[in-house]
Each structure stands twice: as structure tokens, then as C-alpha cells.
Structure 1
Amino acid sequence: MKFAVQYLSFFVIQSEGSDPDGPKKYKHYQTLTHEEYQDSELKLFLDGEFKRIAKRKADVNPASEQVPTKIGRFLVEPGHDLTSNPNYNLFQRLRTASDKAEFHNCGDDLLRIYMDTQSVRGGAFVLATAKLNELYDDPFLFLFKCDFESKIARVSDEKSLISQVEMAINAKNIKSIQYPHMPEEGMLEEWELKIHQASHARYFEDFLKYVSYEKSKPEIVADQVMELVHNYMETKWQGADIPYYDAVADLAAEVPETEETVAMRQEKQQFDIWAAGEKRELQEKWTHEHVVEATKQIVEIQPDLELKFRLDDVMIKGHMDDYGNNIHIARMNGRYVVLIEGDSFQFDKGVSPIELLHPEEMDEVLRRVGNGIRRTPPGEAPALD
């Protein structure tokens, strides 16, 4: 996969004063044609980045909210086509520029929009159109943002040893946009673009105001779970004096207060607090059969979902559909028990005595757990009983 650069514009964003967090300005350094790019130092710096960005995989529904690479989709009003989207139109003007002057002018327009982004930082901003000649006639548009590196020095002469490098950039943490998105070689999605940025930064998402991003898988699952909770509450409280959805719409509504309505609102608030919590505990509200059925509905829509939780300091990790099959949760003598079953063990790195175990039968383990027989912490005397 070798990209041939058509046009490339190089800009530098700097602080206007001594404060690095103060107002910013940008300066256009140079716009290069294909021939000029071949003889420039930028070719050595960027050539590998085009391929790396194009091959970087991303999911429309990412595995988490904080993934660095996302797929965006241009927003349009119902009944309208892509030409009604300002971000798309600007990208197309750059892709179809007929000479370096037009490409530079379109790049200026894009930089002015980008400079309105909140918390924009200094660095180099590069715009380029590049063709994949063996596959497509039309070029891709690439946007690169390289932040300035602090405390960078180069080896100097024997007397001064090193000299400070101002406005140093490197390719390691390049933020980028590629349009159009190429899910695989030979396939293009003209409605989609691919952005790559550090997880804590949102420069490109702020910059592209008319691009949307699909929800992450955890967000989708959370929505599905809350819909199941809503259905559960409606079924449970269908005999109350007011319908459940009225209580949801307005908890402070002036309706007759009965034991049922008070209990219903309290339970609704409990579910809301539980759903909003960063760290959540077992709620002990649904039966095993209810949870299995709810899990089945979610897995049918989102296969391969991860199941991850802690029991005290022990981390358990599997798939959502392992619950009720390979992973079981129970109570014994007032404590929680997690039972994990499978056909074989595999230990990674190091060697431990546990690997030499000849497992006991389950009834013997349950007898020990049921009798509360646990290993005494080091340095602590065993209980007298």
C-alpha cells in the first residue's frame, strides 16, 4: 500500500505570547506539489504515516468510550445528501483542488475553523491529498497534527555538547484524520471518516461539528439494560395507583401518596443511583432465571460482550454469555461464591505450587467453604474454634 502525495500544506500553530496556554495564531509555511514533496524532508517524516493510518483498525461501535481511533459519520438532515454537510464540503474542496494555490486557500479555511477549537495546542498541522493509484482514481484527504515536544535537544559540538531545539515535533503521537474511511482495501465509505487522537483529547471531535460518532458497546449495553429495568418496573408496579411511566416522567408530580407509589419511586431512584455509579455492587433484585433471560437478549444483539467484575480483590473476566454456563454466582453462609467451570487450565509466566494441584471433588470444596475453613493470614494466630 503506497500513497502518492498530490498536494501538501504545512502550517505551524503557536502561542501569541509567552503563555503556552494563551491565544494561538497559525502561520502557513509552504504548500508542496507531488514533485516538490519527493525532494523534501517531509517525505522521510510522513511517508510511513499514510500507510499506518490507513491500516489502523477501528469499529463503528468501539469497545470503550476512550478508544483513540473512532469512525465518524457526516450528519445530514433527512431527505438531504452529503453536499448539505459543511464539513464534507470543505473536505471535498481540498480533495478536488486543481492546483497548489487552491489547495493552500482551502487549507487556510480549514485552519481558521480548527483554531476555534477549545484548548487548541501549538504544533505542526499538515494537510495532504494522496492517491492509492493501484486501487482508486480519487485521492484521500489526510490531516496530521503534531504537538510540540518539550525539552528536546540535539548533540552539538564538543564545547556545548547539546543545543536546544525549538518547535520540535515527532511522529510518535500524531493525531490524524483520514477521509474517506477505507474499512478494507478496495472498499470506501464516503459517509465516514476515521480520526485518531489521544484518548483525553477531543480536538477533532470539537473541530468537526457536523460529524457524529456511534455509541460504544458499553453505552449500548447500558441502554439495553436500563430498557430491561424499565420493563421490569412496569410489570412489577402495574397494579399501583399511578402508571409507572408517570412516576418516571415526574417524581415530584402531585399524585395521591400511597405505600405503593412511595415504594415505586424509591425503587426507581435506587435504580438511577445504581446505573450512574462508577463502582457498583450486587443489587440482589432479580432471580437467576431473570438475569439469564436478560443476558440472552443483550448477547443476541451484541455478541462477544465482556463480563468483568471483582469479588473482593479477585478479578473475574469472561464473556457475558458465560454467566449461567461457565460462571455461576451463589451465596454460602452469608458470603458470595463465584464458581467457574471449564475443561482445562493454562498458567502464564512464572511457576507456582498451585500448578501442581490435584483438584478435590466439588463436595469436599463445598464442605470446606461451608464450614468457614479458610487459610489464616501470615502472623495471625488461628481462631480457638
Structure 2
Amino acid sequence: MKFAVQYLSFFVIQNEGADPNGPKKYKHYQTLTHEEYQDSELKAFLDGEFKRIAKRKAEINPASEQVPTKIGRFLVEPGYDLDSNPNYNLFQRLRTAENKQEFHNFADDVLRIYMDTNSVRGGAFVLATAKLNELFDEPFLFLFKCDFESKIARVSDEQSLISQVEMAINAKNIKSIQYPHMPEEGIVEPWELKIHQASHARYFEDFLKYVSYEKSKPEIVAEQVMDMVHQYMETKWQAGESESIAAAMALFDSTDGGENAEEAYADAPQEVRAMRQEKQQFDVWAAGEKRELQEKWTHDHVVEATKQIVEMQPDLELKFRLDDILIKGHMDDYGNNIHIARLNGRYVVLIEGDSFQFEKGVSPIELLHPEEMSEMLHRVGNGVRRVAPGEAPPLD
């Protein structure tokens, strides 16, 4: 996969004062044609980046909310085409630029929009169109943002030894946009673009206001679970069938909380207050970063709920901690290979499988001849613990 650059514009964004978060200005350094790029030092710096960006994989629904590479989709009103999207038009003008000056002008327009965002930082800003001649007639658009590296020095001469480089950039942490997205070699999605940036940053979400990003798998699952919770609440409290409960809940939800909420509930039936309390408990639970076992649903209820989710998201991860022990598997392992129970007031996680595999280092656990389940449950149930640290086990 070899990209041939058509046009490339190189800009530098700098702080106007000493404050790194203060006002910024930019300067156009050069716009290159294909021939000029071949003879420039930028070729060695960027050539590998085109291929690297194009081959970087990304999912429409990423595995987490903080993935560095995302797929964006141009937003349009129902019934309208792509050319009604301002961001698409901005990119398309660059892809269809007919000469060097026209490309420079359109690139300048893009940079001006970027400069108006809160996420703008100093560094090199590069826009390029490049073709895969063996696959497509139309070029791809690439946008590169390279931040300045602080405290960079280079070897100078025998007297000074080193000299400071004031504006050094590094290809290692390049942020990028590729349009159109190429999910597979030879296939492009004109409605989609691919962005790559630091996972905690929102450089391009701020910049591209008319591009949407699909929810991550955890977000989708969370919504599905909360829908199940609402169904459970309706079934348990029969809110849909009881006019008094529905009316009281509507009255409470129409208040703004505080004293008004208390007044609304002063004469509410006991079941309404209990229902609202449970709903608040679920809301607090769902909003928590670290959550505890709620002990609300039966095993069969959880198995059924898990089955519905796995049907839509087959490869979901299941990860939790029991005290300081981390357990990782797949969502569909619950009820099959991973089981959760109580024993003498404590939680027990049972993991079953056909074989063990140990990695890195050798431990005495690898020499174990496992006891039968009944023996283990008897031992754990009677509170028999392992020997204390420093206490030698019998050898006979």
C-alpha cells in the first residue's frame, strides 16, 4: 500500500505569549506539489504515516469509551445528501483542488476553523491529499497534527556539545484524520472518516462539529441493562396498571426535587415511596464508577438478561474483582463457566474449565492434584484456612 502525495500544506501553530494555554497564531511554511514533496525532507518523515494511518483498525462501536482511534460519520438532516454537511464540503474541496494555490487556500480555511476550538495546541499542522493509484482514482485526505516536543536537544559540535531545538516535532504521537475511511483495502466509506488522537483528548470532536461517533459497547450495554431495570420495575410494582401509582410518580417527576418533592410524597401510598426509593438506588448504582453486587435479581433472571445482551454484542468482556482478585472472562461465561454464590455469608466465585495454563515463572500451585468439589466446599464451609505466613506446613 503506497500513497502518492498530490498536494501538501505545512503550517506551524505557536503561542503568542509565554502562556502555553494562551492565544495562538499560525504561519504557513510551504505548500508542495507531488514533485516538490518527492525532494523534501517531509517525505522521509511522513511517508510511513500514510500507510500506518490507513491500516490502523477501528470499530464503529469501540470496546471502550476512551479508545484512541474512532470512526466518525457525517451528520445530515433526513432526506439530505452528503453535500449538505459543512465538514464534508470542507474536506471535499481539498480533495478536488485543481492546483497548488487552491489547495493552500482550502487548507488555510481548515486551519482557521481548527484555531477556533478550545483544544488547539502548538505544533505542526499538515494537510495532504494522497492517492492509492492501484486502487482508486480519487485521493484520500490526511490531516496530521504534531505537537511540539519540550526540552529537546541535539548534538552540536566539540565546543558546545549540544544545542537546543526550539520547535521539534515527533512522529510518534501524531494525531490524524483520514477521509474517506477505508475499512478494508479496496473499499471506502464516503460517509465515514477515521480519527486518531490521545484517548483522553477531544481534539477533533471539537473541530468537526458536524460529525457523530457511535456509542461504545459499554455504553450500549449500560443502556440495555437500564431498559431491563425499567421493565423489572414496571413488572414488580405494576406501575403501568395502577393509576394511583402512575399519577403519584408523574407528580413527583414533575417537581424539581427538595421541598416540592417532599410535598408531592407527603400523602403518597407506601408502595409509591418504596418504588421511588428503589428507582433512586438503581440510579445511584448505574452512575457509580465502581459498583457493588446489588443482590436484586435471581440467577435465572440474570442468565436471561445476559443472553439477550450477548445476542446483540457477542464478544463482550466480563470483568470484576472479588476483594483483590481480578476475574476476567466473557459475558456469556456467566452461568456456563463462571458462577457466583454465597457460602457462610461470604461470596464465592466458581470458575470451571477443561484445562489450566500457567505463564511466567513456576509455582507450587502447578503441582496440585485437585480435590473433589464436595471436599473443597466442606473445607471452605468450615472456615478451614491456609497456614499463616511463616508457619511451616507438615511434610508427612
Counterpart among 318, 339, 344 of residue 333 in structure 1? 344
State whether residues 95 and 141 of structure 2, in contact with CA within 8 Å, keep that contact through their aligned partners in structure 1: yes
Aligned to 1:227: 227
State whether residues 249 and 272 of structure 2, in contact with CA within 8 Å, keep that contact through their aligned partners in structure 1: no
Matched residue type, 2:245: I
Matched residue type, 1:3: F
* RMSD between superposed Cα atoms in Å: 1.7
Which secondary structure state, in structure 1, belongs to the residue aligned with residue 138 of structure 2?
coil
Gapped regions of structure 1 (runs ≥ 5): none
Aligned to 1:246: 250
CA distance 1:250–1:325, change in 2 (3 Å): farther
Aligned to 2:89: 89
Deviation sequence 1:298-345 (CA, Å, 0-9, x none): 001111100000000100000000000000000000000000000000
State whether residues 58 and 70 of structure 1, in contact with CA within 8 Å, keep that contact through their aligned partners in structure 2: yes
Map 1:317-356 → 2, pairs under 5 A? 317-356=328-367
CA distance in 1, matches of 2:182, 2:388: 57
2:201 paired with 1:190: no
Q: Tell me how far 1:80 sits from its aligned partner.
A: 0.4
CA distance in 2, matches of 1:119, 1:67: 18
Q: Tell me how far 1:186 sits from its aligned partner.
A: 1.0
Q: What count of residue pairs does the alignment treat as equivalent?
A: 382
CA distance 1:250–1:306, change in 2 (3 Å): farther
Aligned to 2:60: 60
2:286 paired with 1:275: yes
Deviation sequence 1:222-259 (CA, Å, 0-9, x none): 00000000000000111653129737844738364111
State whether residues 7 and 33 of structure 1, in contact with CA within 8 Å, keep that contact through their aligned partners in structure 2: yes
State whether residues 180 and 189 of structure 2, in contact with CA within 8 Å, keep that contact through their aligned partners in structure 1: yes
Aligned to 1:172: 172
Which secondary structure state, in structure 1, belongs to the residue aligned with residue 127 of structure 2?
strand
Aligned to 1:365: 376
Aligned to 1:133: 133
Matched residue type, 2:357: Q
Q: Tell me how far 1:201 sits from its aligned partner.
A: 1.2
Which secondary structure state, in structure 2, belongs to the residue aligned with residue 242 of structure 1?
helix
Counterpart among 299, 302, 320 of residue 288 in structure 1? 299
Aligned to 1:44: 44
Matched residue type, 2:374: D
CA distance in 1, matches of 2:159, 2:249: 79
CA distance in 2, matches of 1:27, 1:203: 20
CA distance in 1, matches of 2:156, 2:45: 22
CA distance in 1, matches of 2:235, 2:290: 28
Which secondary structure state, in structure 2, belongs to the residue aligned with residue 281 of structure 1?
coil
Matched residue type, 1:81: D
Matched residue type, 1:219: E
Matched residue type, 2:264: E
State whether residues 306 and 332 of structure 2, in contact with CA within 8 Å, keep that contact through their aligned partners in structure 1: yes
Aligned to 1:206: 206
Which secondary structure state, in structure 2, belongs to the residue aligned with residue 338 of structure 1?
strand
Aligned to 2:258: none
Deviation sequence 1:34-59 (CA, Å, 0-9, x none): 00000000000000000000000000
Matched residue type, 2:306: T
Q: Tell me how far 1:377 sits from its aligned partner.
A: 3.9
Q: Tell me how far 1:18 sits from its aligned partner.
A: 1.8
Which secondary structure state, in structure 1, belongs to the residue aligned with residue 176 of structure 2?
strand
Q: Tell me how far 1:131 sits from its aligned partner.
A: 0.2
CA distance 1:231–1:164, change in 2 (3 Å): same
Deviation sequence 1:162-191 (CA, Å, 0-9, x none): 000111001000000000000001111000
Q: Tell me how far 1:263 sits from its aligned partner.
A: 0.2
